[in-house]
Amino acid sequence: MRRYFVIGAMLALLTMPVVVGAEETTIPPQLNWSPTPPASGPVDTSGMTELLANLASRGVITPQEQAQLMQPLVGTSSEQTETMFVDNGGE
């Protein structure tokens, strides 16, 4: 008799998600939500230089890799590179 009670209780627990169901949630258009996060802002070069020096001193990257990472991006002008690495105070 106890076995039937346990089996019945287990079936009741297993059917609970089916009974409750999952409602599809919709995001209100007022939120202007996008699945893609916004692009990050400019990078502070002093922090980048310090990070790369720290990684090189610990042996995580080689000095050659550090030099490569400090080179400007290919296809960008020096003006674009300067504005890209300006710290705008977290805006």
Strands (E), 18-82: none
Residue 77 lies in a domain: yes
44 backbone dihedrals φ, ψ, rounded to 5°: -80, 120
Domain total in the chain? 1
Taking phi over 0 as left and psi of -120 to 50 as alpha, with beta for the rest, 17 belongs to alpha
Separation CA 65–CA 90 (nearest Å): 28
User: What is the per-residue pLDDT across 15-74, written as a single tens digit (0 to 9) for each?
Assistant: 876 656 656 677 777 777 777 777 777 767 788 888 999 999 999 999 999 989 888 766
- Asked if the structure places residue 69 within a domain, the reply is yes
> What pLDDT is stored for residue 91 in this prediction?
45
In a domain, 66, yes or no: yes
Residue 24, domain member (yes or no): no
Structural domain contains residue 47: yes
For residue 90, the enclosing domain spans 42-91
Segment among 2-16, 19-33, 70-84 with least mean pLDDT: 70-84
What residue type is 71 in one-letter code? Q
